[in-house]
Structure formats: C-alpha cells, structure tokens
Amino acid sequence: MVERFDDLILGMRFKSPEKRVTREEIKRFASEFDPQGYHLDEAAAERSVFGGLVASGWHTAAIAMRLAVETRPFGPHPLLGLGVDELRWLAPVRPDDVVRLEGEVVELTPSRSKPQGIARVKWTAFNQRGEPVYTFIPIAIVPRRPA
C-alpha cells in the first residue's frame, strides 16, 4: 500500500470509482463558471460544433479531481499540486456519460533539500464506451518516509 513518496514506483497504476454526469450538473456548473451556449442551452448546443449539450472542460477537470481524490494514489496524503502539464480535452462529456479515471506514475523526482518528492501521475478520464475524454499530469508534492 502506498503511504509515502518512497512507496511509489514508475509505471504504478490506479483506477478510480465512476461518476455519472447529469444534465442538471452540466448546466449548474456552466452557469457559475463557463456561461457559454453549448454548456447551458440545448437549442444553442444543437447549433454548435458539438451538436448537443456538453460539459464545460473545467467541469470535466473538476470531476476528474474528485475522482483522483477518491482514488487516494498517495495513501493518507492529500493531493497537493504545484500545477498541471499537458491538460487536454479529447472528446466532449455529454449528459448521462459515466466517467472514470485511470492513472499511471510517469515521473518521480526526490527533493534534494526537503523530505518529500515530486510525483507526476498521468491521469486519463474515460467515458462509458472506453473512449478517452480528458487527460492531465498534475505536479504533486508527496512526503518521504522519515530517514
């Protein structure tokens, strides 16, 4: 079981629970944070490049964070990030899609000065058809085991 940075191994993989994304959630998030037609209004969404209502990419990102937190890749330690690299939206998330995350440890860099390390996990969100919809690589700080 992972408890510290020291327990992480390159290539280690994680799987999250699932989350169904509802039409109401898509509109509620968009009305607060991304008020654009294809996230808010069915008629406008039909006429858009998406051909129907889609979740804000930032809503997908927020849902992915929730799933990553539930996955507990660093055991008891929080997901504490300096930033994110290679954030990409690959396909739209639509009402009633069911999203889940898979993660893979792609880089581990111990700190030279502090009892911690930087872990990069590449997370990919898939929908219920197994299509990748979103991917991101957070830069996380994880404590090391006391020497």
- Which residues here bind its own copies, judged by CB under 8 A? 29, 32-38, 49, 56-59, 61-63, 65-66, 69, 78-89
Q: Using an 8 Å Cβ cutoff, are 105 and 12 in contact? A: yes
DSSP state of 130: S
Q: How far is the CB of 108 from its own copies (least distance, A)?
A: 20
Least CB distance to its own copies at residue 77 (A): 10
CA distance 83 to 86: 10
Q: Which is nearer to its own copies, 108 or 139 (CB)?
A: 139
Q: Which is nearer to its own copies, 9 or 100 (CB)?
A: 100
Q: In this structure, what token pair is assigned to residue 95? A: 């009402």
CB atoms within 10 A of CB 93: 22
The minimum distance between CB 28 and its own copies, in angstroms, equals: 10
Sheet holding 116-126, edge to edge: 13-20, 98-110, 116-126, 132-143
Least distance between its own copies and beta carbon 33 (Å): 4
Which is closer to its own copies, CB of 86 or CB of 130? 86
CB-wise, 43 or 82, nearer to its own copies? 82
Residue 75 to residue 58: CA distance in whole angstroms: 26
